[in-house]
Amino acid sequence: MGRTVLGIESSCDETGLALFEEGRGLVGEVLFSQTEIHAPYGGVVPELAARDHVRRLPRLWNALQASTGVRQADAVAVTAGPGLLGALLVGVNFARALAYAWNAPVVPVHHLEGHLLAPMLQGVLPFPAVALLVSGGHTQLVEVLGIGQYRLLGDTLDDAAGEAFDKAAKMLGLPYPGGPALARLATGGDPERYSLPRPMLDRPGLDFSFSGLKTAFRLQVEKLPRGDASAGADLAASFQRAVVTTLVEKCLRALQQTGHSRLVVAGGVSANQDLRLSLHRLEKQGIQVHFASLAHCTDNGAMIALTGALRLAEGVSPLEPIDVRARWPLPGPPE
């Protein structure tokens, strides 16, 4: 039997724990989403998120023990950033307490690296590759040369794609969380009805910007005709198509620039079905496209446990302090 790693994720509004065993894979996982807690506020309230992680982590660990029969792990991996500082501190302190009791090492994990490696939970090792990290907080193109070797190719200059989805949904009066609600509304809409900009496709480079698209969308919302039941769905579909077209085109540019033929897509927005279908069409051009499973697109403990297992040699003693970081660049390739 290989070593077993307990992964802990608490960077935002999901509390996730998972057990990963070397040579065997994912043993079990549990996840709690705080959506109902934050819904009345229309977004994540950091203090409420941290308090619920405090309540939830011991219960989830008990549930994971009951479902797997595993009482102790050989190491504990925990998200140390980027994320909400209070929420991160809860997870890190819980991880250190367990590791101290077990005399086991702690492995601080980069949240975005966890997302990057999530397709490996399905047995895929698609590197070297270009990765699209697309979520509520991040929209980045990253060249992945190997584990721990990442080169940032493009970043968002303002809103991330997921944040833009959420804000557009709020303009339409859709419930929280807005991104999935807008995608559901767009399913029945005509994406060609409204002409919306494709941000930064008219200039070279791999950076993103969604502020202009958001402004154009708001102006269209203000002009929506009353009594036209399909107008909202058509506008939602047009917005979604603009975002997806932009993401796909930038991915193509990054693949051409690097010469890679593999694309890894991760993060919460990678669950969007229109984006998945559009990127899978690139396979006709000889590009391998790899997604995390739908269960592992959003934040989860499994990706943290996996990353911790890969990074186990870099573990620290639970007696050592672990810095949590609201912002934290991905590690680059060796010079």
Omega of the bond prior to 128 within 30 degrees of 0, cis? Answer: yes
Q: Look at residues 146, 155, 112 and name the one whose alpha carbon lies nearest to residue 262.
A: 146
Domains 4-118+297-314 and 126-294 share a fold: yes
CA distance 125 to 152: 20
Digit-by-digit pLDDT tens for the chain (335 residues) are 689 999 999 999 999 999 999 989 999 999 999 999 999 998 999 999 999 999 999 999 999 999 999 999 999 999 999 999 999 999 999 999 999 999 999 999 999 999 999 989 987 766 899 999 998 888 999 999 988 899 999 999 998 999 999 999 999 999 999 999 999 999 989 999 999 999 889 888 999 999 999 999 999 999 998 878 799 999 999 999 999 999 999 999 999 999 999 999 999 999 999 999 999 999 999 999 999 999 999 999 999 999 999 999 999 999 999 999 999 988 877 65
State the fold for domain 4-118+297-314.
Nucleotidyltransferase; domain 5 (3.30.420)
Domain map (residue ranges) of the chain:
4-118+297-314, 126-294
Omega of the bond prior to 177 within 30 degrees of 0, cis? Answer: yes
Contact at 8 Å (CB) between 79 and 107? no
Assign 312 to helix, strand or coil.
helix
Name the CATH code of domain 126-294 (choices 2.60.120.590, 3.30.420.40, 3.40.50.300, 2.60.40.10): 3.30.420.40
**Angle in degrees, 0-180, between the axes of helices 161-171 and 178-186, rounded to the nearest 10:** 70
Q: Which residues have a Cβ under 8 Å from the Cβ of 55 and sit 6 or more positions away?
A: none
Q: Which residues have a Cβ under 8 Å from the Cβ of 185 and sit 6 or more positions away?
A: 172, 174, 232, 233, 236, 237
Which is it for the CA torsion 326, 329, 330, 334, positive or negative?
A: negative
Tell me the residue length of the chain.
335
